[in-house]
Every structure is written in structure tokens, then in C-alpha cells.
Structure 1
Amino acid sequence: MFDHARSAGSAMAVITGGGELERRATDASIPIMTVDATGEPRSAVGYNLLLLASLLDRIGVINVSDQAVAEAVEAADVMVAKVGIAVPEETNLAKSLARDLLGRLTLVYGGGNLSGMALRWKAQINENGKSWAFAELLPELLHNTVESFPGGPEIRKRTTALLLEPHQASPELERRYAVLGETLDQSGIDRRTLTGVPGGPLTQSLSMIVLGDHLSYYMGLLNGINPSETPSIDRFKERLSSSDSA
């Protein structure tokens, strides 16, 4: 991707935690924003989100004020205070939901500002929670997926749909969420509606990242597996590497 962008003559900036990409960007005098976060790359997405928002603001693609960033960081802190490891399950949404989802098929649905968040939650439940999860987006799923809801009574009994609903959605999107909820209820599929801390898109996104990440972490613990390890992915990469070198 780096070489393709350079050969295309694109204006470039690099967000990296170091390594080969940083070296090549430095050699090419390309601006660098450094990710200073430990842990797996997937655990630094909130950090990366703010870096990307800052970059896009600087080049005039979007407008992100210092106040919006401060509110988003505060929202993340508020969510951590609600779902952190020290908060007991009785008052901890992430812990109680993780237990409810244990051994079940999880469907994650999102629309509007939280479309990408549905994909994030799905991936985190897979990687951290070591559990089955699939994600789809509104309004598209209303044109195809809903036709599958009446089938498979045994599957329906073991399925939970998580509806990630943004604050201040358009009337059209609110109506679609309502219709989706009604359809799930009529099909006997368990559903939960989840929202982030009220505020702008950045505030909602960052708080929902915190909630989803804690949820998936607790699911991994309940499954008796280290949430940070990804042995199946590692094996897949190893097999591909050995095949490429053969």
C-alpha cells in the first residue's frame, strides 16, 4: 500500500508504531504520526482513531475541535468507570452481558455513525472473546437478512442480537431500528439495544469501543482463554508463510 500510494503520486502521511514503515517514511520525508501504545494492535484502535481524526482535521477533510476530542476522552473515562475490571458484575453491563452471551451466537447490528462499530465489536468478540459473532449493517440487513429470522428454531433459541444504536439518529434510521427490533421479537430472537455516552460521533465511537472491548475481554475470560492470544490466527499465518516460502 505504501509503495502503491507513492507510485500514484498521492499526498501521504504515515501513522505507525515504528519499524520498517517508519524508516521508509523518514527516508522519503513523509510526515509521521507515532502510535505510542503497548499491547496488540487491535487494543490501540481508540488511540489510532484520535490520531486519524487529528490528521484529517489538519488537512481540512473534517472538523474536529479540541472540545470534541476532550469530550470523547472524558466519555471513554466515564465508560471505563462503569465497565472496568474493578466494577462488580451486578452493576457492570459488560460483565453481565458477557455472561449472557456465553455459548450463544452473537449478531451485531449497527447503522449510521455506528456502522463501523458493529464490525469492530464482531471482530473483538471473535478475537478476544473466542466466540462466534457476525456483523451486518442497517439498512442493508432489512433487505435480506430478516428473511432468515423465522427459520431454524434451535438456532434462534441460542442467538442474541446486539443492536448498536447511535444517539441523535435520523428519523429514518430510528424507524429502521424500531422495525428491526419488532422483527426480532416476532421471531423469538433475544435482542439488546446498546448506546454509547451521549454526544457527538467521536464521543459515541470512543465510548462504544471501550464497552465492546471490555465485553469481549470478559467473554474470553469466561471461556477460560487468554483474550490477548490468537493461536488460530497465528497458525494460519504460519501455514501461509510456509506455503509462500516453499
Structure 2
Amino acid sequence: MKLDELSLYEKPELREFLAQLRTEPDGFLEGMESAEAISLKLRHDVSSVVFLGVGGSGIVGDLLSDITAKRRNLPIICHKDYSFPPYLTKGALVVVVSYSGNTAETLSAMVKAYDAGLSMFAITSGGLMGRVCKKLGIPVVEIKAGLLPRMAVPHMLGAAISVLTGVGIIKMSTDELRNAVERAKRAQASVEVHVGLESNVAKQVASRIYDKTAFIYSHGPLSSVGYRLKCQLNENAKMLAVSQCLPEILHNDIEGWSPEVARCLAAVMLRCKDEYPAVKEALDRMEADLRERFGITVSRIESDEGDEVTKIFSTMVICDYMSFYAAIMRGVDPVRVDRIKSMREGIVSNTKLLEQVASRFGVKH
């Protein structure tokens, strides 16, 4: 199957996915605009920001944490569970993220945070969460409906940045974000379907890894992008992937390398052009060892130059296209996630939890 055959992209499911993929850069700005009307009044001094969310919605906090690492004085904590730990209840500003608004884990944690009297706001396209928040007077950023949850990440991320900038927790100007979006659009243009394999890094990497388990290695601001890529390969290409970060992997992961695994593994290195000297040296050695000593296929995706927001936006767009091309190489539908749907619908306890939340607050399930 040749990724340069443009007729491939005429299949209905591929056209649908590609249409959403192409909206990603502007999605950041649309999310910001969706949040402009939100007036968040903090009920207490804020000592931390806690993101509640799982899946595509859960990655929003991870990405924002990396984007704003040098632009805030408070920790950002990403909590992905039904609970809300007691140690988080002192001074936390809670950001509740669920694209569908019907995520049982997130709603459960949200109710616990609400009972603790914490300031919070929600980002959703509606659902039970939207109805509960409106009933309770919790500020809600309503973002564009009709997207795949994993493709709504730019909208949700833009909304979170807008609100947190508005209350002074992070420092980022609209001009900086618009510049990052323009750079992301240029990155997107370089990996579009009409760009041939010889010049298209997303097609090149997809062609090398689609029939293997992908090990994604990253560092610093690209750590969350590595995890995002892992999830996109899982959901879009229906393939196993692992995301690991430096310097931690230098203390464990590398002992698992061997020539025996070369047939089933491929490495994807997410690199920055301004890496710390020790990180650059380690990644260079890793790439050489993987290729020369162990015969493992190694691919590299380099971020655009600039600040963290530019690096993350641009690299994320390239990686999302790569996962799309991997799906095509594998002959799978990137839209459908039947196993996830079947698993979630089969967990009766989740259905009961949603019913309990709706009943408690007197809203329609």
C-alpha cells in the first residue's frame, strides 16, 4: 500500500478523520475563543492546579503542564481516577475535562472535589457534566461538539490555557499562541497527504513502524507529546505502543534491548534542536546502539525551533498525522474504537455511578 496514492484518502472513514485532523491548529484558537466568556471567581487562595480527566481529555493536563513549565509558579497535577485524594484538597483549583461530559471516572472525582469546596471549572461539549455544572453554578467552557474526543484535544487545551491565563496562574500572550499556531500550520503542511513519502516525515515513520510495537522516547517538553503519540497509535492505528522519557529510561529500559526483539520493535525518537548537552549525548548514543548493536529500526521526529508551546503544537500535529498514516498502512479504520466502546459500555458500575450523579443533582441522565 503506497501512502502517496491520493485515491486512498477517498474512503469515507479516512475523509472523515482527515477533515478533523486538518482542523487541529485552528482548534487551539477556537478553544481559546470558547473560553472568553468564562468568568472564574476563585473561592480560595490557589496552591496547585489539578486536572481531572482520562483518555483524550486526560492528556490536556499533561500537555499544558509541559507547555507552561516555565510560565507558572504553581504545580500542575494530573489525576486520572474515580477518587480525589485528600492531600489535594488544600487550595487546589480543579479543572474538570471530559469531551463527552459522560466520563464516569471524571464525574466521580469532580463530585468529590465539589464536596471539598474547591474552586473549579469544566471543559466539555455537554453531556451529564455540562448539566450538573450548570445546575451547581460551576463555570463551563462549552467547546465544539461532533468531534472525536481525541481530536478535540486542541480545543480543550486552548480553553484551559485561556482560563488559567485569565486568572493569572500562567503567563502567556495571545500573540505567542497565534505564532505557535502558525508554526503548527507550517508543520502540518509539510506532512499533508499530497506531500510525497520522500519529503514527508510522518509518512516515512509510519511506513517503518506500522507492523511493529512502537517504543517512543522523549524528553522535557516533548514528554507529553510522546504519551499523546502512544495513545494516538493505540486508538487510530490499533497498534501497541510504549512511551518512555529520559533520563529515567537510562536507569532501566535500556537493559531490555536485545537483537531478539528487533523483529517486533521500532523506536521513535522525539527530539529537540536545543537539548541539554547530556540529553543530546544520551539520545545520540541510544539511536546508535539501537541501530548498530541491536538492529532495531529507529526513526526521528524533530520539533520546530522556538518556545515550549511552539515545539509541542508543531510536534503533536506531525505525530497525529503519522498515526493516521500508520492506520492506513495497517488497513484499519482510524475513526472507530470498538474495543474501548465495548469495554466501557460493559462496566455496569459506571452506568450506576452516572445515574447516581444525575439523581443527586436532579438533572437528566
Query: Same fold judged by TM-score > 0.5?
Result: yes
After TM superposition, give the deviation of residue 222 of structure 1 in Å: 1.7
- Show the counterpart of 1:101: 209
Question: Partner letter of residue 35 of structure 1?
Answer: I
Asked if 1:211 corresponds to 2:318, the answer is yes
Question: Partner letter of residue 190 of structure 1?
Answer: T
- Show the counterpart of 1:24: 132
Structure 2: runs of 5 or more not aligned: 1-108, 353-365
Distance 2:350 2:161 in 1: 39
Asked if 1:181 corresponds to 2:287, the answer is yes
**CA offset digits 1:152-179 (Å, max 9, x no partner):** x332133221111234333333233233
- Show the counterpart of 1:124: 232
- Show the counterpart of 1:171: 277
After TM superposition, give the deviation of residue 85 of structure 1 in Å: 2.4
Structure 1 residue runs of 4+, over 4 Å off? 242-245
Counterpart secondary structure, 2:242: strand
- Show the counterpart of 2:248: 140
Aligned residues: percent identity? Answer: 30
Q: Please identify, of 208-217 and 157-166, the stretch whose mean Cα deviation from structure 2 is larger.
A: 157-166
- Show the counterpart of 1:224: 331
Q: Structure 1-normalised TM-score?
A: 0.90
On the 8 A contact 1:220/1:226 being kept in 2, the answer is: yes
After TM superposition, give the deviation of residue 145 of structure 1 in Å: 0.6
After TM superposition, give the deviation of residue 82 of structure 1 in Å: 0.9
On the 8 A contact 2:225/2:316 being kept in 1, the answer is: yes
**CA offset digits 1:98-125 (Å, max 9, x no partner):** 1221212211011100111111101111
Q: Structure 2-normalised TM-score?
A: 0.62
Structure 1: runs of 5 or more not aligned: none
Distance 1:37 1:206 in 2: 22
- Show the counterpart of 2:263: 157
Distance 1:154 1:176 in 2: 23
Asked if 1:39 corresponds to 2:147, the answer is yes
On the 8 A contact 2:205/2:299 being kept in 1, the answer is: no
Q: Judging changes above 3 Å, is the alpha-carbon distance between structure 1 residues 99 and 60 closer, same or farther for their aligned structure 2 residues? A: same
On the 8 A contact 1:112/1:166 being kept in 2, the answer is: no
Asked if 1:92 corresponds to 2:200, the answer is yes
After TM superposition, give the deviation of residue 242 of structure 1 in Å: 8.6
Q: Please identify, of 219-228 and 87-96, the stretch whose mean Cα deviation from structure 2 is larger.
A: 87-96
Q: Please identify, of 53-62 and 197-206, the stretch whose mean Cα deviation from structure 2 is larger.
A: 53-62
